[in-house]
Amino acid sequence: MAMTVAQRVSYETNGFLVIPNALSPEELAATREAANRAEALWRAEPHRRGIRSEVLDQVQAPIEYDPQLLSLLWHPTVFPLVRDAVGDDVMMIDNDYFITPPNTPRTHAGWHHDVGMRGVYHPKSTMMVKVFYLLSDVDASSGGTAMIPGSHKFPMKWQFPEVEEPKDMPGAIQMTGQAGTAYLFNGRTYHCAVNNESPTPRRVLIYNYGHFWMKMWTGYEPSERLLAEAHASNDPIQKQLLGIGDAYGTALS
Ligand SMILES: O=C(O)CCC(=O)C(=O)O
């Protein structure tokens, strides 16, 4: 088990877990440089996938841009926690680099769950776990994620109130932290992005994980190049996270 008892209690109780200093100063510097290179390429070539809007710049599938951004998928401190939460049949579902522009007029993501599959009673199963790596310092005004602690255990039919202003959701707390912080959460934890009221962009890398038998989100299937590299690496974790293996029964040992 990778999670300490304290981490497990926090994760099970709240539906999320904060990992302060998940990236060392050197890793943070290298990741920021890689993210900057990816962003520059994405801005220069408008055919590249992602959202370009006044509330969000989304560099879709950053793992395709740089080995540093790819390797965060199996980060030595964070991935074992993900594996502990999802299980040995863990696989990548999607990945993004989100840049929330300064002074957004509204949120880019209202309150929602990530997992809405029919036929599975999600509150009792961990279907997806998402990891956020903060590349910029995030405080309450920076457009970060807000969550409702414990909401991953609410029954499927529970309806949260509708709020115009994300911060008005009863019971919501904000995920703040310094660059280099990571947090992960169960995909059933109710969450949103608050407006960025600050004069600086919020920068965050997002890696979403599910089970090997699930489908990756369309548009996030690894390229032939990444698949060939994973095959060549012969690394079971890299291969499995990128979806190489039999649909049923594939799991890390
Ligand atoms: O940008 C955020 O903090 C929230 C993003 C989000 O809602 C999601 O990844 O599902």
Query: Is-above-0.85 flag for pTM?
Result: yes
Among 128, 132, 217, which residue has the most ligand 1 atoms within 8 Å of its CB, making it the best to mutate? 132
User: CA-to-CA distance for 2 and 15, rounded, in angstroms?
Assistant: 17
pLDDT at 156: 84
Distance CA 251, CA 86 (A): 11
Q: Alpha-carbon distance 21 to 224, whole Å?
A: 33
Local confidence band at 117 (pLDDT 50, 70, 90 cut-offs): confident
Residue 27 pLDDT exceeds 80: yes
Mean pLDDT value across residues 149-155? 94
pLDDT of 106 reads 96
- CA gap 68, 74 in Å, rounded: 11
Q: How many A from CA of 227 to the centre of ligand 1?
A: 27
Kindly report the backbone phi and psi dihedral angles of residue 126, in degrees, each rounded to the nearest multiple of 5, phi listed first: -95, 105
Average pLDDT, the chain: 96
Residue 208's SS3 state is strand
CA 175 to ligand 1 center in whole angstroms: 11
Question: Which atom of ligand 1 approaches the CA of 56 most closely?
Answer: 1
Per-residue pLDDT at 101: 97
Q: What integer pLDDT is reported at residue 146 of this predicted model? A: 98
Q: Three-state SS for 19? A: strand
Distance CA 136, CA 194 (A): 16
Nearest CA to ligand 1 atom 1: 193
Domains annotated on the chain, with CATH: 5-241 (2.60.120.620)
* Amino acid symbol at 30: A
Q: Which residues line ligand 1 (CB under 6 A)?
A: 98, 109, 114, 144-145, 191, 193, 206
Which residue has the least CA distance to atom 4 on ligand 1? 193
Ligand 1 centroid–CA 144 distance in Å is 8
Q: Given the DSSP bridges, would you call strands 191-193 and 145-147 parallel, antiparallel or unpaired?
A: antiparallel
Strand ranges across the sheet with 202-211 = 16-19, 182-186, 129-134, 202-211, 90-100, 57-60
Please report which confidence band the pLDDT of residue 37 belongs to, taking 50, 70 and 90 as the band edges. Answer: very high
Distance of CA 202 to the CA centre of its chain: 14
